Amino acid sequence: MRLSYRNLDKTKAGKILIKGPSVASLESLLTAERVKNYQTSTAAGWVYNYAAKAVDETSLNLLEQLAEEQQVLGKYKAVLDGVVMNPGEGRMVLHHLTRGVLGKIVRHNRKDIGKFYAEQNKRIAAFAARVHSGSIKGSTGKPFETVVQVGIGGSDLGPRAMFLALEQYVVREKKTLAMNARFISNVDPDDAAAVLASLHLDSTLFILVSKSGTTQETLANENFVRQALKKAGLDDDKHMVAVTSETSPLAKSPRYLASFYIDDFIGGRYSSTSAVGGAVMSLSLGADIFARFLAGAHEGDKAALEPQMRKNAALLDALIGVWERNALKMPYTAVLPYSQALSRLPAHLQQLDMESNGKSVNRANLPVKYGTGPVLFGEPGTNGQHSFYQELHQGTDRVPLQFIGFQDSQSGMDVVSEGSTSQVKLKANLAAQIVAFAKGSSNASEPNKNFAGNRPSSLLLNARLTPETLGALLSHFENKVMFQGFLWNINSFDQEGVQLGKVLTKAVLAKGNMDSALKAYSSLLGL
């Protein structure tokens, strides 16, 4: 397929969509029949239900046309085949390859990249086995009991969210974690200080994660950790491994027990399934768990190749998001997992989505004239119900919602009170919220008790949060974001917007070339 790139407002379907065709209110649209029909099964047991989204047959047909005009599946295949799909940086986009091969064999400098990623996983698994068996120990001979990931952004948010998502799963399946995991990210010294104060350093292994090997925060925190290790009388080199690119200053250094590799074809926010997530997850949860997580993500990637829009959950989700952003003009979206284990998934998705699609120029570097990536936020339910849901129900603006739910809890521990288990209560709240948002409830005599309704939501539902279902969930969102990038004709794989801050920070630190306002702020901050 020959791929062409057009802005959303240059496609036939996009032109109609941007005019905002009207859809009947969800109050009338949302029937039992529709709950049954407006859903599709996808990878690893997931069901995507969009019955409570503000779309109808006309808009869905328009979105289907848009997906075809924008050749989104063709572009996804180009990603899988190793075409340079990150034009800004002139790079391939290969995170899918960390979980399996779905396209052509991808080579770079004659190296088979798929094999390279698989090899890193094997090296990590072998290293983790030696740590777990005690054949690799701390510098005073104590077995390692805790692993601390030192990284920021993509080296932190995804791995942290994934670890938290599976921690209790592993505790239940294996009785105990292989190692406890902690995370240091912020350059604020209070972050490292708090984490280190809670640890026994002699039994702690640190993973330094930086693709470039030059991330300011991570190098500062490495220094913080090394000084603490030395102060505790330990050999710091024997308590640290690196995850980095083969060309970074950290690679193959004798200052690390081991180094595991990634490359420039995996963006930080897409690196949870690479060695960036692999090292910490294999050490804490087990290499078997990480392998199952990858298998789930691979299954999700396969499902996103489904050519029929109505059966492709990631594509449907992407299209409905564009509908909400550009037809309904909603500039935000909330992700609401009804699962405490997914407490940090929204923070990860905030990076994934906003860093990928918060762009104002298209792939050809020309300005776009329509809204791109929305502001994404969220907290787990039912917690959010007692917090910001007030505004979601009765605020002056409508915020589109993405619920995530599970039939069964992860821990399997539960109690009955007032006639039902906590898990049943959790699910009852979830069902109730979807309908309350969609249908509202009128109260003419007391308008402060009036609910306008017609507030759209979708539901991603599965039996239980496991390594496989988590992997497929991650893949769903990664592919959704990628599809939206194709629909908006932007490059979802660079992040030039982080650069200016870095440049000005360097200027402040060097007391160099600063404009007068920057000097004034520096002075205000005692710099």
Under rule CB under 8 A, residue 154 binds a copy of itself: yes
Under rule CB under 8 A, residue 285 binds a copy of itself: no
List 15, 502, 506, 511, catalytic entry = 502
The piece of 108-116, 247-255, 300-308, 383-391 that touches a copy of itself (CB under 8 A) is 383-391
Pick out residues in 474-503 that bind a copy of itself (CB under 8 A).
491, 494-503
Under rule CB under 8 A, residue 407 binds a copy of itself: yes
Q: Choose which of 98, 120, 274, 350 interacts with a copy of itself (CB under 8 A).
A: 350
Instruction: Write down the least CB distance from residue 111 to a copy of itself, Å.
Output: 28
For the packed helices 157-174 and 287-303, what is the interaxial angle rounded to 10 degrees? Answer: 120
Under rule CB under 8 A, residue 271 binds a copy of itself: no
Instruction: Write down the least CB distance from residue 384 to a copy of itself, Å.
Output: 9
Tokens at 99, concatenated:
């979980």
- Helix or strand or coil: residue 90? coil
Does 391 qualify as catalytic in the annotation?
Answer: no
Under rule CB under 8 A, residue 423 binds a copy of itself: yes
Under rule CB under 8 A, residue 415 binds a copy of itself: yes
Instruction: Write down the least CB distance from residue 253 to a copy of itself, Å.
Output: 16
Amino acid identity of residue 47, one-letter, is V
Looking at beta carbons only, is 167 or 173 nearer to a copy of itself? 167
Dihedral over Cα of 98, 104, 105, 108: its sign: negative
Question: Which residues, 6+ apart, have CB-to-CB distance to 527 below 8 Å?
Answer: 508
d(CA 100, CA 301): 9
DSSP state of 367: B
Under rule CB under 8 A, residue 379 binds a copy of itself: yes
Q: Choose which of 392, 474, 482, 487 interacts with a copy of itself (CB under 8 A).
A: 392
Looking at beta carbons only, is 131 or 184 nearer to a copy of itself? 184
Residues in the chain, how many? 527
Amino acid identity of residue 250, one-letter, is L
Under rule CB under 8 A, residue 48 binds a copy of itself: no
Full 3-state SS string of 71-82: CHHHHHHHHHCC
The CA dihedral of 372, 310, 350, 26, to the nearest 10 degrees, is 80
Question: Which residues, 6+ apart, have CB-to-CB distance to 246 below 8 Å?
Answer: 252, 261, 263
Does 173 qualify as catalytic in the annotation?
Answer: no
Pick out residues in 8-47 that bind a copy of itself (CB under 8 A).
30-32, 34-36, 47
Under rule CB under 8 A, residue 358 binds a copy of itself: yes
Only one residue has tokens 């340079």, namely: 84
Q: Are 40 and 320 in contact (CB under 8 A)?
A: no
The piece of 101-109, 293-301, 310-318, 444-452 that touches a copy of itself (CB under 8 A) is 444-452
Instruction: Write down the least CB distance from residue 129 to a copy of itself, Å.
Output: 25
Q: Choose which of 204, 221, 274, 454 interacts with a copy of itself (CB under 8 A).
A: 221
Q: Choose which of 236, 306, 324, 355 interacts with a copy of itself (CB under 8 A).
A: 355
Pick out residues in 49-78 that bind a copy of itself (CB under 8 A).
49, 51
List 306, 324, 355, 379, catalytic entry = 355
Write the DSSP string, 255-283: TSS-EEEE-TTS-GGG-TTSHHHHHHHHH
Strand 457-462 with 47-49, pairing: antiparallel
Give the total of residues touching a copy of itself (CB under 8 A): 155
Amino acid identity of residue 279, one-letter, is A
Instruction: Write down the least CB distance from residue 36 to a copy of itself, Å.
Output: 7
Instruction: Write down the least CB distance from residue 1 to a copy of itself, Å.
Output: 26
Closest by CA to 49, choosing from 459, 495, 484, is 459
d(CA 337, CA 378): 8
Question: Which residues, 6+ apart, have CB-to-CB distance to 122 below 8 Å?
Answer: none
Instruction: Write down the least CB distance from residue 141 to a copy of itself, Å.
Output: 27
Under rule CB under 8 A, residue 354 binds a copy of itself: yes
The CA dihedral of 255, 258, 259, 260, to the nearest 10 degrees, is -160
Does 386 qualify as catalytic in the annotation?
Answer: yes
Q: Are 48 and 313 in contact (CB under 8 A)?
A: yes
Tokens at 345, concatenated:
């998934």
Q: Choose which of 227, 235, 246, 252 interacts with a copy of itself (CB under 8 A).
A: 227
Amino acid identity of residue 263, one-letter, is D
Q: Choose which of 71, 248, 410, 489 interacts with a copy of itself (CB under 8 A).
A: 410
Under rule CB under 8 A, residue 253 binds a copy of itself: no
Pick out residues in 115-134 that bind a copy of itself (CB under 8 A).
none
Annotated active-site positions, please? Answer: 355, 386, 502
